[in-house]
Amino acid sequence: MNFDVSSDRRNTNSIKWNRDAIENISANPVAEPFWVADMDFYPEQHIQEAGKTLAGQGIYGYPSFPKDTAHVAAWMRIKHGWILPKEKIVFAQGLLHALALSVNLFTEKGAKLLVCSPMYRPFRIIPERNERELIEHNLGYEDGVFYLDRERFEKDAENADMIIFCSPQNPSGIVFKEDELVFVLETAKKHGIPVISDEIHSDLAHPNVKHIPMGLANERVGAKCITLFAPSKTFNIAGEHCAFATFSDSEMEEAFRKAESALWLDEPALTAGELSYAAYTKGAEYNKALCRYLGETAAAMRKYLEENCPGLKMVNGDASFVTFIDCRDYYQKIEAEVLGHPERYKGGEGGGILSRFFGVSAGVAMNDGTWFGSAWYTFVRFNYGTSRIRVMKALERMVRAVKSL
């Protein structure tokens, strides 16, 4: 559990470390990756051993691991204080699968889906691919703090057929308070629409910050609520696509189970099942240490930027390992630099002004804010799920780059 030693993933099949993919967003194939939301830490030892055992056996036939979800229910009880019967937990082949299937099952074509922005890009793609419309609800933002603007949220919800919520929020790192969750649920209930809560980052709330599952908050409200969660970000096993769903409404649960079984998508693959079982049964200590490490890294980043470059502002960042950095004080200069020197910043068509600038001038590859919505062009998303020394060196290079303009 020494998170100061992170892995070198250059010669693996990691998309985060892939040179072409890095060049595509940052205009620099050798920029260090601080983008795609997975971490450079090795998973907990038992998870690694489960993987090694499988590889040692060398045969990847049909599995017989426990098919029930008692281990998932135990994790939810211990980690989040939510007593959830194991029979109410439904397996899904990844969180986005569960989300897309729910959109298909519980809304009609042309339906309007409300999503808070800045938003994780697949929340924009899922409505598009499934012929639904997006209501992009911009979160409130002031001086480095994103927040839920209740008045505007309520207004946007008037026209919505479903709310897709992300809690904790990617990319801002907001951990919503219970009264905010209750407000969202009551708004949904008032309009008779379901809420889906994507809680893939929920096990990584930093110490002294409490994540409350939407489904738990809903026990007081009684809206139609689907809570989605997964071991993938928590334990850095995201390539294995394994997630879980729980429904407040038994008819919705039945429809979801029926659709998954009809599509033959209701069981995890061998490796996903083995790794997530090891994670949920053996990963508690690791998880505690990781939350501490990430919280300390976030605090160190904030302190460094405040002391050395207040013009680069780290936003909320209370959970997980991704955060937005607001670069608006430097944006005009950066834009002039990038547009004024097209030869220096060529390539990087998949990125934006800021991601190309920091890719070339600081050797730091990040998602441009525009990836999360066009309004967010003065932001970059920084992934700090790697050793603190690497993070701090990257920040130093970014500060040097903006100061040299």
Ligand X SMILES: Cc1ncc(COP(=O)(O)O)c(C=O)c1O
Among candidate residues 371, 388, 222, 177, the one with its CA nearest the CA of residue 293: 388
> Quick one: which segment of 6-14, 238-246, 284-292, 336-344 binds ligand X (CB under 6 A)?
238-246
Q: How many residues bind ligand X (CB under 6 A)?
A: 14
Site string for ligand X, 283-322 (x = CB under 6 A): ----------------------------------------
Cα 56 to Cα 20, 48, 59: the distances in Å are 32, 12, 8
Site string for ligand X, 114-133 (x = CB under 6 A): ------x-------------
Which element (helix H / strand E) includes 187? helix 178-191
Minimum CB separation of residue 172 from ligand X in Å reads: 11
Long-range contacts of 30-34 (CB under 8 A, 24+ apart): 30/363, 31/358, 31/359, 31/360, 31/362, 31/363, 31/364, 31/365, 32/363, 32/364, 32/365, 32/390, 32/394, 33/365, 33/383, 34/364, 34/365, 34/366, 34/382, 34/383, 34/384, 34/386, 34/391, 34/394
The 112-117 sheet, strands edge to edge: 90-92, 243-247, 225-229, 195-198, 162-166, 112-117, 133-138
User: Does residue 96 touch ligand X according to CB under 6 A?
Assistant: yes
User: Does residue 401 touch ligand X according to CB under 6 A?
Assistant: no
User: Does residue 356 touch ligand X according to CB under 6 A?
Assistant: no
Helix (H, G, I), strand (E, B) or coil at 151: helix
Subset of 154-193 contacting ligand X (CB under 6 A)? 166, 170
Nearer of residues 39 and 188 to ligand X, judged by Cβ: 39
Q: Do 362 and 398 meet the contact criterion of CB atoms below 8 Å apart?
A: yes
Among 24, 232, 236, 387, binds ligand X (CB under 6 A): 232
User: Does residue 200 touch ligand X according to CB under 6 A?
Assistant: yes
User: Does residue 31 touch ligand X according to CB under 6 A?
Assistant: no
Minimum CB separation of residue 102 from ligand X in Å reads: 13
Q: Do 115 and 134 meet the contact criterion of CB atoms below 8 Å apart?
A: yes
Beta-strand relationship, 322-326 and 364-365: unpaired
Helix (H, G, I), strand (E, B) or coil at 256: helix
> Quick one: which segment of 149-157, 230-238, 288-296, 385-393 binds ligand X (CB under 6 A)?
230-238
Among 80, 124, 132, 241, binds ligand X (CB under 6 A): 241
Minimum CB separation of residue 165 from ligand X in Å reads: 10
> Quick one: which segment of 91-99, 219-227, 354-362, 391-399 binds ligand X (CB under 6 A)?
91-99
Minimum CB separation of residue 190 from ligand X in Å reads: 26
> Quick one: which segment of 90-98, 280-288, 342-350, 354-362 binds ligand X (CB under 6 A)?
90-98
User: Does residue 198 touch ligand X according to CB under 6 A?
Assistant: yes
Nearer of residues 43 and 360 to ligand X, judged by Cβ: 43
CA angle 349, 354, 366 (to 5 degrees): 80
Length of the chain: 405
User: Does residue 230 touch ligand X according to CB under 6 A?
Assistant: yes
Q: Bridge partners of 365?
A: 33
Helix axes 388-403, 284-308, angle to 10 degrees: 20
Beta-strand relationship, 162-166 and 112-117: parallel
Nearer of residues 197 and 370 to ligand X, judged by Cβ: 197
The residues that touch ligand X, with contacts defined as CB under 6 A, are 37, 94-96, 120, 166, 170, 198, 200, 230, 232, 238, 241, 243
